[in-house]
Structure 1
Amino acid sequence: MQDYTVMLFLRQRWNDPRFVYQDYNDSITLYEKVLDKIWVPDIYFVNEKGAPFESTSGHSTLLRIHPNGDVLYSAKKTILLACPMNFQLFPMDNQVCKIKMESYGHTTKDIEIWWSREDAVLISEEIQMPDYDLVTWKINNNCDSHHTTGTYSCIEAKLFLIRHIGYYLIQHYIPSILIVVLSWLSFWISPEIAPARVALGITTVLTSTTLTAVSRSAMPRFSYVRAIDVWMMTCGLFIFFALVEFAVVHFIFKRDKKFAISRKAREMSKRLPRKKKAIDKKDVASEDEVDFKPDKGMSSPEPDQDMVGAEEKTHRTPAEIKALYMRRARRIDYYSRLIFPLLFTVFNILYWSVYLSMYH
């Protein structure tokens, strides 16, 4: 439940036969000092959230009596009203705020309230709000409230607001797009330069996280996901997967060293003698030779067939294996340069087409 402050001039008209006079043809204007002695309707704002603000001028009410008994009561009020808002489409959301008034102590048997005409609500054209545009407004005479004490007459005015999106484009959407594009620069950096790619990836991830936190800091806590949350989370995922892509590329790029170690281990195991004859028969009276056999728990470092791969089977040189994995790593970078922008473009088309269709 959000709130907003409104300054308005509340003008009420009714007829009181007790005020009919004929000796004077003009109207009589009364001010605050004598208003306590005259009956006025007990109108209050149903969705009022805060106490009325005091007028700075000191004069905020008047009452004018006409010869036929018609009474005009005008009061200047500055009030804090509650407005239930839904921010699921934020910052492309539309809100409807109400100004609802009804009698406090008189039921419909005593007082009937209605708007005097269709254009009874007048709004100054000079009013400008930083976050919203007031698109239109409507009035309603049929909103009587039913309570245990009776039915009370009610009127309301609905204000239709649409949010300005320009601020959020500049402060959130455009910077997040630039951060995502910046994370793609790592695809053009050689996998050999690991510090540069790691620094770029971590920086973009942290910047995206900070931008997401800033977008939520100015809003109350909600249990639902907003439109800007979908955008920020998706941008964060693109940046995160760009960092994961580098981890995969770096692993493949350095994989040849792993196979080089396994090749050296196998060559060393082949050079070890299978049998060693005893030198001194006196020391080995019962044995002619000593067998060097690997224990079951201490097997020789035979290379795993899955790790060796096709390169070991074809007896490629270490230089050829290194060049092969370097090509594979660079091929992943090449495809990433195409896939990441393509997916991000598709996401933009879907995102803006869905949410802009509801932004009216």
Structure 2
Amino acid sequence: MGYNKYLRPYFGGDPVQIAMTLDVASISSISESDMDYTATIYLQQRWTDPRLVFHGNKSFSLDARLVELLWVPDTYIVESKRSFLHDVTVGNRLIRLFSNGTILYALRITTTVACNMDLSKYPMDTQTCRLQLESWGYDENDVVFTWLRGNDSVHGLEKLQLSQYTVEHYYTLVSKSQMETGNYPRLILQFELRRNVLYFILETYVPSTLLVMLSWVSFWITLDSVPARTCIGVTTVLSMTTLMIGSRSSLSKTNCFIKAIDVYLGICFSFIFGALVEYAMAHYSSSQKCGAKGPANELTKEMREVNITNVLNSSITSYKQKISFTSIEISSDNVNRSDLTMKTHEKIKCVLRNKMHRIIGYFTIQNPSNVDHYSKLLFPLFFLLVNVFYWAYYLYF
């Protein structure tokens, strides 16, 4: 008699102490693209209303429809995107009244809550998510939120079986939210999710590593087998490109994180592309060397024929001409200075040309077959070193 559901208990006096417990039934999905998670929870709230005290030591479970006749806290879930109460077959709510005026109010809620994620170490990352409960209209002068038993107020997280994650640990916090309208009590459940990397090792890391090793097979094929080596190089490049596109399709296109898996796929693509470039350089040097040998032989043959002709002509003309050394007069007027100047320019050009040929010779592959010989050792060695630094950095730093 005289109960007013629009007024809180102890109205005009001390704030209402509301103790909460939480059971996490399931976490159905965790979305990296939307950066949120969906969970089904059982929320229990306890408070004391002296207007509902009755004699005896019993407790009564009341029909959930009586909630409309009682005062209940205006608790809401912070950062919730979508939430709903289950209503099959009736609204999943519970009201239990104790003789000392204590009320137990339980709800079954499914909610999608935002969770800011750092995907720079994806898929070797650990994400920290929160579930925050706060009073909407009553500030700290009217209600006070507390966890009923501290960390033991939360159950169910340790039993969850998630597809990609494992719950590392969780803990509860008591805080308050400062707004222009006042300071509002807030309870925080914070839990860490560690991603299971085994799936990604089998799905991405192992295939990309095998593609890199497949590109090294071309080093054991001769330079003359152009179709075989080109086919291996192009096939591995295209397969690696497809693998890179597939690894990013599961995440949002607006996601600008450079993830750990992107770094590894980029490394693998660089090694595969490097093997293709290595064959192009070796084959080009080999063709240049073969082309240089052919004209050189023909030029040597022509020079031999010219030398024989010159010897014959000189021997014939030596008998027809008489050389008189006394008739040769050397004077300064007969010397042509322009000829000397031209000869000097020609000498400088010859020197510069020789130096350029030497410089080019330093960067010219003298024996193209040695390129494959060194690549058999250097490519696997560098790839192994890069893998050591990669896994050490992303697993321990």
- Residue 46 of structure 1 aligns to which amino acid in structure 2? V
**TM-score, scaled relative to structure 2:** 0.74
Counterpart secondary structure, 1:181: helix
**Deviation at residue 267 of structure 1 after TM alignment:** 6.1
Letter paired with 2:268: C
**In the alignment, which of 208, 213, 221 is matched to residue 189 of structure 1?**
221
Instruction: Say whether residues 1:252 and 2:291 are aligned partners.
Output: no
How far residue 125 of structure 1 moved from its aligned partner, in angstroms, is 4.7
Q: In the alignment, does 2:132 pair up with 1:100?
A: yes
Deviation at 1:30, TM superposition (A): 1.7
Q: Distance in 2 between matches of 1:139 and 1:225?
A: 32
**Corresponding letter in the other structure for 1:30:** L
The alpha-carbon distance between structure 1 residues 234 and 124, as it changes in their structure 2 partners (threshold 3 A), is closer
**1:21 matched to 2:32:** no
State the match for 1:357 in structure 2. Answer: 396
Give the whole-Å Cα distance in 2 for the aligned partners of 1:55 and 1:136.
Answer: 32
Indicate conservation of the 8 Å contact 1:83/1:98, yes or no: yes
CA distance in 2: counterparts of 1:337 and 1:355, whole angstroms: 28
Percent of paired sites with the same residue: 35
User: Does structure 2 retain, via aligned residues, the 8 Å contact 1:98–1:158?
Assistant: yes
CA distance in 2, matches of 1:192, 1:55: 75
Match for residue 322 of structure 1? none
Aligned-partner Cα distance in 1 for 2:302–2:48? 113
1:37 to 62, 69, 86: 69
1:146 aligns with 2:178: yes
Taking the aligned partners of 1:182 and 1:356, their CA distance within structure 2 comes to: 27
Residue of structure 2 in register with 1:83 after alignment: 115
Task: State which drifts further: 212-221 or 228-237.
Answer: 212-221
Q: What letter corresponds to residue 54 of structure 2 in structure 1?
A: Y
Match for residue 237 of structure 1 among 270, 275, 291: 270
Q: Which amino acid aligns with 1:70?
A: T
- Rg larger in structure: 2
Bigger shift: residues 253-262 or 83-92: 253-262
1:52–1:80 contact (8 Å) kept in structure 2: no
Match of 1:60 in 2: 92
User: How many angstroms apart in 2 are the aligned matches of 1:52 and 1:258?
Assistant: 79
Match of 2:188 among 156, 159, 173: 156
Aligned residue type for 2:388: I
Q: Give the CA deviation at 1:261.
A: 5.2
User: In structure 1, what is the Cα distance between the partners aligned to 2:181 and 2:302?
Assistant: 99
Structure 2: 5+ residue runs without aligned partners?
1-33, 311-352, 359-364
Cα distance in 1 for partners of 2:218, 2:275 equals 8
* Cα deviation digits, residues 281-328 of structure 1 (max 9, x gap): xxxxxxxxxxxxxxxxxxxxxxxx77x979xxxxxxxxxxxxxx8x81
> In the aligned structure 1, how far is the partner of 2:234 from the partner of 2:70?
73
Correspondences of 1:228-307 after superposition (within 5 Å): 228-260=261-293, 262-263=295-296, 266=299
Partner of 1:342: 381
Question: Structure 1 residues 257, 334: CA separation in 2 closer, same or farther (over 3 Å shift)?
Answer: closer
Provide Cα deviations, 1:54-109, integer angstroms capped at 9, x if missing partner: 34332410111111111111111111111111100000000011000100000111
Residue aligned with 1:141, SS: strand
Conserved 8 A contact 2:86-2:108: no
Looking at structure 1, the residues matched to 302 and 85 of structure 2 have their Cα atoms a distance apart, in angstroms, of 92
Give 1:205's match in structure 2, choosing from 224, 237, 242.
Answer: 237
Shift of residue 264, structure 1, vs aligned partner = 6.5
Partner of 1:329: 368
Give, in angstroms, the shift of residue 185 of structure 1: 0.4
**Quick one: distance in 2 between partners of 1:225 and 1:59?**
46
Residue in 2 that maps onto 1:295: none
Q: TM-score, normalised to structure 1's length?
A: 0.81
Q: Does 1:74 align with 2:106?
A: yes
Matched, 1:114 2:153: no
5+ residue gaps, structure 1, are 275-304, 311-324
Identify, as 1 or 2, the structure richer in strand: 2
Write the distance in 2 (CA, Å) between the matches of 1:31 and 1:264: 107
RMSD between superposed Cα atoms in Å: 2.6
| Number of equivalent positions | 313
Q: Is the 8 A contact 2:61 2:96 kept in 1?
A: yes
Residues 85 and 91, structure 2, Cα contact 8 Å, conserved in 1: no
Secondary structure of 2:147's match? coil
2 CA distance for matches of 1:56 and 1:347?
A: 56
1 or 2, which has the higher helix percentage? 2
